[in-house]
Amino acid sequence: MANIAGDAAKNRTYDAIVIGSGISGGWAAKELTGHGLKTLVLERGKDVKHIKDYPTTSKNPWEFEHRGQLPVEVKKQNPIVSKCYAFYEGTEHFFVKDAEHPYVQEKPFDWIRGYQVGGKSLLWARQTQRWSDFDFEGPARDGFAVDWPIRYADIAPWYSYVEKFAGISGNRDGVPQLPDGEFLPPHEMNCVESFFQKQVASKYKDRQVIMGRAAHITAPQPIHLEQGRAKCQHRTICERGCPFGGYFSSNASTIPWAARTGLMTLRPDSVVHSIIYDEQKGKATGVRVIDANTKEEMEFYANIIFVNAAALNTNLILLNSTSSRFPNGFGNDNGLMGKYVAFHNYKARISAEYDGHLDSTTDGRRPNSPYIPRFRNVYKQETDFLRGYAAGFSANRRSVTNQDGLGADLKQSLLNPSLGGWSVGSHMMGETIPKETNYVALDKSLKDPYGMPQLKISVVYDENDEKMTKDYLEQMTEMFTHAGFTNIQATNTDRAPGLDIHEMGGVRMGKDPKTSLLNKWNQLHACSNVFVTDGASMTSTSTQNPSLTYMALTARAADHAVQELKKRNI
């Protein structure tokens, strides 16, 4: 370790350090700088500046030499990330390549990562639903995991806070298990989706089909214009980075907002090795970093540290932060760190056709689709599996050409497509139960290119997931049949965990330091100046998408950190 003397150490001292610049790290940066804290944001990947570093954002389809498809060599070299729906010629630069960042699959797990400023916030599917007390009270009611230390009322104002800034579109649907938020105008449902909505409502009083709530600016408010963001243009190529800032990303929103304060130092290419613990002071004093380019090891210091490296990497960093006080990982007195990892069950999907509404069609593109909130086991346990699932749903009308011909006939038919019938489809998003046996740990012998231990992932679907998958397929088949859809194809894809990209837990929140790692303010029980506010902190996983909850928890924790700092409690 380099001996950093006097001035040099001072130059590396900040009020706060944020590890990671994705969805939650960006919010930590914005909130902490907003409260006047000189903040260092560490990002292990390269810098990605809004607009400037979106190399494919304005490319037309014909400007991709393979029209979007990836060369066979790229696919062969990247069998894991190639499974991700968003990995293609226009986005490959924003995804981690398999060989560059190895990990150990004790059980098959497709770990999808985006190492750059903005992280996966550039790549996400932008669905933003609030969690409800059916989620926060779930573990206490159903007896799995541990009780959440917070309830919906604790986080509701913070949902409002982040929604207004991020820009969330949606309807106020009045669904108890899916609380309404501060919405911009919703995207439009098409005629067959509305038809299905009515069909479902007529048969089931407890099931709703609603328009998805998504982080798209459908009607810019002053706060969005002030961020330099504009209305969503419906290009539906969001994952290449949006030059309009039409969807929420750290790059377009929180990071530049933090930068504007003049208080943020952003340091890309900084692989965090560990958090430094000072035994005399009884708190964390800084972060040890490996420069990704020079491999040089260096230290940065701060009063508070936010760990937002994305769920599994947050586990990795904390487990790798050992000292005589914390021989098993930072704050890991109970040995539970890395355990109770859970995720979302995306195993099943269903598709069908519909030959009604043939006098109508859609026009244009929509970066969103309808959503079916959880309807299983909401008020009482009514199935033989715990918890439930939400579902995506969409309908679209196909354009059909007869491609049998050759020559002028073929050309004629290609340029004059006819309208086919409607296609409908849905996929499930199930809650999985956090279990001690689903864990991540450090591999004792294998290192990554930065000398960090490789993460060993041991996460599997269980019987509860299988029962839930079966129920989803049965219930959706019943709902599709009731609506008059035909040629119903119900599929259990049997895919491995990971591709859902909703991994959560390992550093869970809870009331009791014996059974959890973080308190109700996302502070480590064992070290109050270290906060974890990304997916690692989730006690259970809900059926809703998690990103909005990470944003709200982060803003709330940052506010608490600043109050505590002022009171000199940390």
Partner 1 sequence: MNRRVVIKHMALAVTGLVLLPGCDLGSKKAAAQEMQPFLSPDQEGLLAQVVDTIIPATDTPGAKELNVHLFVQKMVTDCYEKEAQENLVNGLDALEAKAKKAHDKAFDACSAEERIALLRAMEQSGDTGEQEFYKLVKGLTVRGYMNSEYVMMNLTHYEAVPGHYYGCVPVDSKTLS
Q: Where along the sequence are the contacts to partner 1 (CB under 8 A)? A: 55, 58, 60-63, 65-67, 69-73, 93, 187-191, 193-194, 233-236, 358-366, 399, 403, 406-408, 410-411, 414-419
* Minimum CB distance to partner 1 smaller for 3 or for 416: 416
Q: How far is the CB of 520 from partner 1 (least distance, A)?
A: 41
Closest distance to partner 1 from the beta carbon of 65 (Å): 6
Across the strands, what pairs with 164?
Answer: none
- Residue number with CB closer to partner 1 (368 or 539): 368
- DSSP state at residue 288: E
Distance in angstroms (rounded) separating the CA atoms of residues 177 and 186: 19
**Residue/partner pairs of 480-487 with CB below 8 Å, 24 or more apart:** 480/350, 480/352, 480/424, 482/199, 482/200, 482/203, 483/195, 483/196, 483/199, 483/200, 483/354, 484/199, 484/354, 484/356, 485/352, 485/353, 485/354, 485/424, 486/352, 486/353, 486/354, 486/355, 487/352, 487/353
Shortest separation between residue 449's beta carbon and partner 1, angstroms: 18
- For residues 555 and 560, give the distance between their C-alpha atoms in angstroms, rounded to a whole number: 9
Our CB check for partner 1 shows the closer of 91 and 132 to be: 91
Task: Match 């964390």 to its residue by tokens.
Answer: 284
Nearest distance, CB of residue 56 and partner 1, angstroms: 9
Q: Return the number of the residue (236 or 493) whose C-beta is nearest partner 1.
A: 236
Q: Which is closer to partner 1, CB of 399 or CB of 491?
A: 399
In whole angstroms, what separates CA 344 from the centre of its chain? 11
Question: Which residues, 6 or more positions from 54, have their beta carbon under 8 angstroms from its beta carbon?
Answer: 48, 240, 241, 242, 243
Closest CB 334 distance from partner 1, rounded Å: 46
Shortest reach from residue 365's CB to partner 1, in Å: 6
Considering beta carbons, is residue 97 or 470 the nearer one to partner 1? 97
Minimum distance from CB of 548 to partner 1 (Å)? 23
Name 488's Cβ contacts closer than 8 Å, sequence gap at least 6.
350, 351, 352, 477, 480, 481
Structure tokens at 140: 């206490």
Nearer to partner 1, 49 or 93 (CB): 93
Tally the C-alpha atoms within 13 A of residue 450's C-alpha that lie toward its C-beta. 27
Query: Are 165 and 253 spatial neighbours (Cβ–Cβ below 8 Å)?
Result: yes
Closest CB to partner 1 among residues 361, 458: 361
DSSP per position, 15-52 = EEEEE--SHHHHHHHHHHHHTT--EEEE-SSB---TTT
Q: Closest distance between partner 1 and the C-beta of residue 55, in Å?
A: 6
